[in-house]
A and B are shown apart, each in its own frame.
Chain A
């Protein structure tokens, strides 16, 4: 499973985001992902992909695409 699929599935299954609302250019705050939700998402992604996102800065102004790229960067590394 690639980074985009992992992020999309977690948003749908663990945060109740509608799949149709998830686009690369959508800011995370539009998906009602506040700072607490993002920190929770960070842990879930780390567990699922066995990576460390500790140094990745995450804010709800970031887009889904930016998050996926950050995760991809860590997966590649």
Chain B
């Protein structure tokens, strides 16, 4: 039995981005739509000598400088990114934390691994120097919800807040959950998206053992190549992407600019495997069909999909076949991960923000590094350069380890 609800469109009134392609939504969007080659790949010391010793890192940002030592010391890097992105998104929305009804503001932030970098560092400290040298801050800095709590403390938010953990779909599930909170009238404003920073030797060493990450060490900036015949795995990235969502009447009443709307959300579980997606893509298909029905949008209405497109052999094929099956072949598809890296739990937040920008600018960002599309993929993949297009509706898909699928339907503001 399906309990249908009235359609509900949450107004997107603000964006905040911290990515390897740029800090700030404006800078990131410019880089992603104008640069053909990724510039954000580096070789952190923490990954030295691993089969994959590179990742996408946020270069032009000193969190201690931006936040101040007293604020920054209570957060691991993923939470610092979240706070910086939240400040941007709230300012972009024209909201003033001094005057808003803070109990009617919610914060929902996804992350797959939370403060795993600090966790890894402190574990090393314990092994090398003993238990009495371990920091007392391990729990508060490493819990996945600490991005959400840090944003609440920084902005003085007193409504409901929590972290979302569904691996690489965490950011999209957070945005979808915020949509549901707004629809239920639990809050008037929600700050939602994802944050991640996993410059952690332990985690990347394990990802190498899993054979999930690219080992193109001779040319790291070409390693992440979604939908390309030569793709050989994903490349980890760090960053944060947050949106300010509002109940439409709340945005209207204060005369806010509505940049786009989140009009539908669908989530599903594969119930299949710990890592591999359902080989038929039935899980992500179910999420997408649910999201389309939720938004009362027909497949033919969708003009652009910002795909999960991780650059793994399996994901890209399964996802592409599913998109063609559900939506047809009339639409444009791209993955922005070759510019940002796979930011894991942040990906859905960053990419939903980029989808908002695509709707707003009527411009589809290209799939960097996509030179020869996998011939099995029956889609119009945007590559080489950004493509102007007319579309009123776009989709964001996300899949997470453990079979957590999410799809969002966005419409023009």
Q: Interface on A for B, CB 8 Å cutoff?
A: 13-17, 32, 36, 39-40, 43, 46-47, 52, 54
Residues 250-282 (chain B) with a chain A CB within 8 angstroms? none
Can you list 18 residue pairs at the A/B interface with Cβ under 8 Å?
A14-B69, A14-B73, A15-B70, A16-B69, A16-B70, A16-B72, A17-B70, A36-B136, A36-B137, A40-B135, A40-B136, A40-B137, A43-B134, A43-B135, A43-B136, A46-B133, A52-B132, A54-B132
**B132 x A16 contact (CB < 8 A):** no
**A47 x B73 contact (CB < 8 A):** no
Residues of B within 8 A of A32 (CB): 70
Q: How far is the CA of A15 from the CA of B73 in the complex (A)?
A: 7
Q: How far is the CA of A44 from the CA of B250 in the complex (A)?
A: 48
Residues of A within 8 A of B133 (CB): 43, 46-47
Pick from B68, B135, B140 the residue with the most CB of A within 10 Å: B135
Q: How far is the CA of A54 from the CA of B132 in the complex (A)?
A: 9
Number of interface residues of B (CB under 8 A): 13
Residues 55-82 (chain B) with a chain A CB within 8 angstroms? 68-73
Residues of B within 8 A of A14 (CB): 69, 73
Pick from B71, B72, B137 the residue with the most CB of A within 10 Å: B137
Partner of A16, one of B68, B134, B137: B68
Q: How far is the CA of A40 from the CA of B70 in the complex (A)?
A: 13
Residues of A within 8 A of B71 (CB): 16
What is the distance, in angstroms, from A29's C-beta to the closest C-beta of chain B?
A: 14
What is the distance, in angstroms, from A38's C-beta to the closest C-beta of chain B?
A: 9
**A16 x B73 contact (CB < 8 A):** yes
Further 9 A-B residue pairs, CB within 8 A, beyond A14-B73, A36-B136, A40-B135 = A16-B70, A16-B72, A17-B70, A39-B136, A40-B136, A40-B137, A43-B132, A43-B133, A43-B135
Q: How far is the CA of A13 from the CA of B68 in the complex (A)?
A: 10
Residues of A within 8 A of B132 (CB): 43, 46, 52, 54
What is the distance, in angstroms, from B131's C-beta to the closest C-beta of chain A?
A: 11
**B69 x A13 contact (CB < 8 A):** yes
Q: How far is the CA of A46 from the CA of B140 in the complex (A)?
A: 22
What is the distance, in angstroms, from B142's C-beta to the closest C-beta of chain A?
A: 14
Pick from A13, A16, A36, A52 the residue with the most CB of B within 10 Å: A16
Residues 134-148 (chain B) with a chain A CB within 8 angstroms? 134-137, 140
Residues of B within 8 A of A17 (CB): 70
Residues of A within 8 A of B136 (CB): 36, 39-40, 43
Known: A46-B132, A47-B133. A15 touches B140 (CB 8 A): no
What is the distance, in angstroms, from A30's C-beta to the closest C-beta of chain B?
A: 14
Residues of A within 8 A of B134 (CB): 43
Residues of B within 8 A of A43 (CB): 132-136
Closest to B71 in A: A16
Residues of A within 8 A of B69 (CB): 13-16
Residues of A within 8 A of B137 (CB): 36, 40
Q: For the complex of A and B, list the 3 residue pairs with the smallest distance between their C-beta atoms, beginning with the closest.
A: A16-B70, A16-B69, A39-B136
What is the distance, in angstroms, from A45's C-beta to the closest C-beta of chain B?
A: 12
Q: How far is the CA of A12 from the CA of B132 in the complex (A)?
A: 23
**B70 x A36 contact (CB < 8 A):** no
Residues of B within 8 A of A13 (CB): 69
Residues of A within 8 A of B68 (CB): 16
Q: How far is the CA of A40 from the CA of B140 in the complex (A)?
A: 13
Residues 18-74 (chain B) with a chain A CB within 8 angstroms? 68-73
